[in-house]
Amino acid sequence: MSDQLSRVTYVQASYPVEIRTKLYELLAETAPKTVDKVWLCNSGTEANEAALKFARAATGNSKIISTKRGFHGRTMGALATTWKDKYKKTTSR
C-alpha cells in the first residue's frame, strides 16, 4: 500500500492506472465466466445508485424494494429508497 501511495493516491476512473488494470484482471480471472463487465465504485452510495440504474435499465421497472431501517446513502437516489419519510424530504433553509 505504501508503495502505491508513493506513486499515486487517486486518479479519476478514465485515466489508466497499472494497479487498477491488475485489479480488473484479477476480477476477470476469479469471476464467473458469464460476468463480462466490471464497474468499480467509490462508495456504498455510489454502488446503490448504480444498482438502481442498472436494475431499471434491465427491467424497465421503476419500483424499488429496500430494507427497513437500512442505510443506503445520502444522495437523492439513495434517499429515495429509505424507509423514513423525513429523510426523503428536501432540507429547508
Non-local (6+) Cβ contacts of 63 within 8 A are none
Grid cell for residue 6: 508513493
88 and 50 within one domain: yes
Domain count, the chain: 2
49 and 36 within one domain: no
Say what percent of the chain tops pLDDT 70.
95
Q: What is the pLDDT of residue 90?
A: 67
Q: What is the pLDDT of residue 32?
A: 94
Q: What is the pLDDT of residue 60?
A: 95
**Cα distance between residue 90 and residue 93, in whole Å:** 10
Query: Domain residues for 13?
Result: 1-40
**Cα distance between residue 51 and residue 86, in whole Å:** 23
pLDDT tens-digit map of 15-59? 888 888 888 899 989 999 998 887 888 889 999 999 999 999 999
